[in-house]
Amino acid sequence: MAFEAISETLEALFVRMSEGKREAAGRLPTADDVLPAVIIVLVRAKQSRICAHLEYVRRYRRPELLPSELSYFIVTVESANAWIGSLQNLEERTPEEFDADHQKSADSERGFRDPATGRG
């Protein structure tokens, strides 16, 4: 099944990234490190039903039996899938609409403050 292949690939990727980051910088990979790789895996897998599989796991598995790693995996894959879905609308938008959305996003980022550091 494609879902199992995707999850095995992502699990191997997470393990490899964790090992590499620990060796290089002494820290675990963050979502900023992992998300681009997950996006690439999902795009190449061309699996349109992955979120349905994840929703099934979420809905029918008791939360206390859902390990934190699996919860992180679900959220990361859902985030990647949402980002991919946002790109699918690009062909339908005019350059002006794209520029306006980009400007709105840039403006909202300027007001963002990192809770850990307090910096923008």
> Which pLDDT tens digit goes with each residue over 38-51?
888 888 877 667 77
> Which pLDDT tens digit goes with each residue over 10-35?
778 777 776 765 665 666 667 777 88
Across the chain, how many H-helices and E-strands are there? 5, 0
CA angle 39, 42, 45 (to 5 degrees): 150
More confident residue, 72 or 88: 72
pTM greater than 0.75: no
The band of 118, judged by pLDDT with boundaries at 50, 70 and 90, is: low
To which CATH superfamily is domain 2-109 assigned? VPS9 domain (1.20.1050.80)
Residue 46, exposed/middle/buried by CB under 10 A (0-12, 13-18, 19+)? exposed
